[in-house]
Amino acid sequence: MRSSARFNASCEEVLLRLFRSFTASSEVVRHRGAFISFVVALALFAAPHSLHAQSDCLACHGDKSMQDAAGHSIAVDGSTFSASIHGSMKCNNCHADIKEYPHPEHIARVECKSCHADEASSLAGSVHSSSKDHPCSSCHGDAHSIFPKSDSRSAVYPLNIPKTCGNCHGTDGMARKHGLPSVYPNYMDSIHGFALSKEGLLVAANCQSCHGSHKILSRKDPQSPTFKANIPKTCGTCHAKIDADYERGSHGHAVASGNLKAPVCTDCHTAHAILQPTESEFRMQSTPICGSCHKDKLSTYHDTFHSQLGSLGGYVETARCWDCHGAHEIYPTADPRSPVAKANLVATCGKCHAGANLSFVQYQPHANAHDRKLNPALFYVRLFMNLLLISVLTFFVIHTILWLIRSRFDQVRRNGSNGGNNA
């Protein structure tokens, strides 16, 4: 082993110097100390060397080019290790099977749980429980350069967490191996990713903020912070006011009562590719998002001036669902707190239409011409217009066919007359 050869060479050099010192003098008594040192060194050289400090290990492992038999680097930067969170520990505190030098070629795997029992217990029940695919170092980095999470050099420092998780949950990471979606690029382009990476806001949500750190559970697990029923509270740790509004609204009440078909934060904003609500891209996609649940209302909205104006050229200023119904604190129309309650319509429409009055708000934004019970006048007007259109078109089709028949008949008759005259 390379490290063994280096240590033996060092010992040989020491012994050679002591032997020369001893033999250079004719007075053995005067060099009694040198003789004793020589004997002690010889004994150390002949017997295994006990490890006492980091310096013993770093004498070999401090070489940056040092590799094991498989070609993997086993070098340790002494200065970085000393500054790390493990810097006060001795090497064999972790490498417990190494008692002396030279040590065996193959050493036992370090068990972090011997010190970090709570974290290991949490990890055992998580989606990262496989130590083969997810060793502690895959998140915390090299064991010899681990820093506190409050240190910017740490792999789990808030600014570094997305990149750390992205090593697996990116395009070329473990996500591809296990058929998982690549979420890292989406997060980095989101409002959270921008706030963290561009603005440097440590309070911006990162992966750990929503998923936890060691006990990361599947989103299908009821105990997971990303389980659908738990998402409002998870998001509410940062967005407390919005969470309170949501909980008071119809959607919040539905989810609280166990109706998991009702929308939560991620249904409208997505989980990772979260856009700024004032951006045109979000406004343009917000109506189809609401329409994915409220299909009947979406079809009637498409018939309105608001929708058609928004579709022709993509005007972002035109009214979307949440401009009228509210974004989070949504109530039924019959609830007096709803912005579309009859008593509140003038104020709601007046936000865009200055001078709106009682006559103006008689406009029905979701009028359904197919529903005779809800909109009888519109239903019969539509029916009459459709019948009129069908009648007119039918009349002209029949008229055109008869005209063609007559024209053809007249043509044949004229040709017959002209043939008789020529004869």
Q: Please choose, from the candidates 146, 140, 142, 7, the residue with its C-alpha nearest in 3D space to the C-alpha of residue 82.
A: 146
Percent of the residues in the chain that have a pLDDT greater than 70, as a whole number = 85
Looking at per-residue pLDDT, the higher value among 118 and 366 belongs to 118
CA distance 156 to 116: 16
* Residue 360 in this model has a pLDDT that exceeds 70: yes
Residue 397 pLDDT exceeds 60: yes
Angle at 341 between CA 335 and CA 344, to 5 degrees: 125
- pLDDT of 180 higher than 50: yes
Determine the residue type at 140: H
Residues 215-269 pLDDT 10s: 999 999 999 999 999 999 999 999 999 999 999 999 999 999 999 999 999 999 9
Length in residues, the chain: 423
Q: pLDDT value at position 72?
A: 86
pLDDT value at position 371?
Answer: 80
Pairing of strands 49-50, 100-101: antiparallel
CA-to-CA distance for 260 and 252, rounded, in angstroms? 10
What pLDDT, on the 0 to 100 scale, is given for residue 42? 45
Proportion of the chain above pLDDT 90, given as a percent? 50
What is d(CA 37, CA 270) in angstroms, rounded to the nearest whole number? 73
Lowest mean pLDDT among 114-118, 195-199, 305-309, 389-393: 305-309
Non-local (6+) Cβ contacts of 240 within 8 A are none
pLDDT of residue 419: 63
Residue 265: how many other CB atoms lie within 10 Å:
21
pLDDT at 207 over 70: yes
Element housing 6 (H / E): helix 2-23
Burial class (CB in 10 A: 0-12, 13-18, 19+), 94: middle
Distance, in Å, from the CA atom of 262 to the CA atom of 253, rounded to the nearest integer, reads 9
**pLDDT per residue over 290-323, tens digit each?**
999 998 888 888 888 888 877 776 677 788 899 9
pLDDT tens per residue across span 24-76? 444 444 444 444 444 444 444 444 455 555 678 888 898 999 988 888 889 99
Average pLDDT of every residue of the chain:
84
User: Distance between CA 169 and CA 181 in Å, rounded?
Assistant: 8
DSSP state of 73: B
Per-residue pLDDT at 344 exceeds 90: yes
CA 117 → CA 120, 121, 137, 215, 274, distances in Å?
5, 6, 16, 13, 36
**For the residues 380-399, what does the mean pLDDT come to?**
94
- Record the tokens describing residue 246, joined without a space: 């949501």
